[in-house]
Amino acid sequence: MSVWFNPAREIEALLRQAAEAVPTLGKGFNPELKPSDPRHADFQANGVLAAAKAAKANPRALATSLVEALRQQAGWDETLVQVEVAGPGFINFKLTPAALGAWLREYRDESKWRAGAARLMGGQKVIIDYPSPNTAKQMHVGHLRPIVIGEAVARLIAFCGADLIRDNHIGDWGTNFGILILAIRRAKFVLDPQSPEVLEDLERLYKEGSAATKADPALLEAARAELAKLQSGDPENLALWEQIVAVSNAACQRIYDQFGLKTDYILGESFYRDKVEQVYTELQQCGLAEESEGALVVWHDEEPRFSRQAETKLPFIVRKKDGSSNYASTDLATLLYRTQHFKATEIVYVTDGRQQDHFQQLFLTGKKWFQATQRTLPRLRHVWFGTILGSDGKAIKTKSGDPVRLQALIDEATQRAFESVTNKSPDLPEVERQHIAKTIGVAALRYADLSSNRTMDYSFSWEKLLSFEGNTAPYLLYANVRVRSIFRKLNLAVGQGETGASDPTTPTEIALARKLLAFTAALDQALEELRPHHLCTYLHELASAYGAFYAADNVIVDEPDVQARRLMLCARTSAIMETGLRLLGIEPLERM
């Protein structure tokens, strides 16, 4: 029998099959298999309780029949998984040391884990839409979350076998371009793509333009005229717009590079400007959209709505009063394009939680539109996130009230990390300390963000995120460096020296081995909910299990088989730690 990559999934499947042979259970039985209190078992199935209640049967007797049927299943092996009925009718499953040892020997490295996880999303074509910033602005702290959450979710989906496309849906076709172009003209500003301040200049011009158009209706009219010229393809305005988008993209890319982010496409809103007409036509033809006060709108009756504002129902406006397209029209056209052109089976959108309303309306409209036009709707998921708070509990801002620039945040993180590395390891050459500081700085920013449940707000604290204690990037990076140092001491590469390893034996070895296997459950959960913090929590627990093992069991010992199996545990710990960190976007360090 081959060794199961993900025992919980296999046990669950076998339980479902076994249930078919038990009259009271049958097809459709849900085993409700969950991780269990590790003192008693690895997993427990609770499903019999509900089934017994529904059938007015004795739960323990029913659980006993299910266990008997399970033992008849081909592929059931009691020497690997022990099973027993417990409590009022739970079924407990415990992996034996032989099963743990077999898993550790079989699933040695990333390629094996990838192959094992590929069942989760193999054959799927997924588009992930991130970080999708608006153009002509410098990236600020608000862009940290779409970058790091988007990248982690993307890596997770790809790791689990999907064919993944990263599509950066930039906001490059908004009404702001009218104001910006007007302001550029009025200031006779010459846009120099090479200037490092060009984005700052554009931001300033936009602010000036925006104030001016608010104060003077004639200027507002002029801005509208510039926008109309741009939208109707005026060559001069188009050329200027193209330049603005290009400098903006280049500046964003400099930030992306520091986060190791490479998108496959930049198909921004402007890409869809000739594709919205079809949306209007079809939505009207299938009776979904109607004219209302000059705009084209779609009404939905479905509840609940997430709107934080009024109880009043708002329509989904798909074309504005003045006939121009908006965020909604573009997103509908994008949905169609991704379905038809990329043959997406799933689309994942990564944005701020304040856009929940938009996406709920988008998904509903998409569903009804595709149904009416007999298209297959891809699975649509909105991966939204909360706000980063300052120590005052409000969204973080600079003293002047502007958002903190992302580059400033990275620089400060790097600077602070450099100080702490210099404190910890003053003997390392300065270049190496700088390299380490850059890795730790960005990793710490990233990990602090990923380790909290994305739908919650979290408070930003330099002390916390750079700390070498607790659930932080420096702690995990350092834990891994320490595991690796054992191999260095023995003059071995990680993964060498484990030939002849016996099965885990001592309680701390067994506890560590079980934690290593739990990698599969962490992957499962993170993927299912698209919440990277499950992986962070897991890595932190793994580091603790390793710590307990290391404190209790000497690795370098005289008995060759004992040393081999402990080295095996060390090697797997380091490899899972590194794979997990990479999934989060963090490059592990050799030393620090």
By CB under 6 A, name the binding residues for ligand ARG: 129, 132-134, 169, 171, 331, 334, 349, 351
What's the token pair of residue 183?
């302001």
CB-wise, 334 or 563, nearer to ligand ARG? 334
What's the token pair of residue 550?
């290391």
Q: What is the DSSP letter of 292?
A: E
CB-wise, 329 or 351, nearer to ligand ARG? 351
CB-wise, 350 or 542, nearer to ligand ARG? 350
Q: How far apart are CA 388 and CA 147, in angstroms?
A: 14
Q: How far apart are CA 12 and CA 43, in angstroms?
A: 10
Closest CA to 544 of 567, 575, 511, 568: 511
Least distance from ligand ARG to the Cβ atom of residue 169, Å: 4
What's the token pair of residue 489?
């001491």
Give the DSSP H/E element, type plus range, for residue 91. strand 90-95
Least distance from ligand ARG to the Cβ atom of residue 329, Å: 11
CB-wise, 403 or 547, nearer to ligand ARG? 403
| Cis ω before 304 (30° cut-off from 0) | yes
CB-wise, 352 or 411, nearer to ligand ARG? 352
Q: How far apart are CA 333 and CA 203, in angstroms?
A: 29
Least distance from ligand ARG to the Cβ atom of residue 53, Å: 45
Least distance from ligand ARG to the Cβ atom of residue 263, Å: 12
φ/ψ (deg, to 5) at 31: -70, -20
Least distance from ligand ARG to the Cβ atom of residue 334, Å: 6
CB-wise, 107 or 385, nearer to ligand ARG? 385
CB-wise, 327 or 468, nearer to ligand ARG? 327
Least distance from ligand ARG to the Cβ atom of residue 154, Å: 14
What contacts 24+ positions apart, CB below 8 Å, involve 60-69?
60/85, 60/88, 60/89, 62/22, 62/24, 62/25, 62/89, 63/89, 63/90, 63/91, 65/22, 65/24, 66/15, 66/18, 66/19, 66/22, 66/25, 66/91, 67/91, 69/18, 69/19, 69/21, 69/22
Strand-pair category, 388-389 with 458-459 = parallel
Least distance from ligand ARG to the Cβ atom of residue 349, Å: 5
CB-wise, 171 or 547, nearer to ligand ARG? 171
CB-wise, 194 or 309, nearer to ligand ARG? 309
Quote helix, strand, coil % in the chain, to nearest 5.
55, 10, 35
CB-wise, 267 or 523, nearer to ligand ARG? 267
Least distance from ligand ARG to the Cβ atom of residue 535, Å: 24
Length, in residues, of the chain: 592
Asked if 409 contacts 445 with a C-beta cutoff of 8 angstroms, the reply is yes
Least distance from ligand ARG to the Cβ atom of residue 142, Å: 9
Q: How far apart are CA 369 and CA 489, in angstroms?
A: 64
Least distance from ligand ARG to the Cβ atom of residue 129, Å: 5
Output the CA–CA distances (angstroms, integers) from residue 223 to 227, 482, 539, 591, in the order listed.
Answer: 6, 60, 53, 56
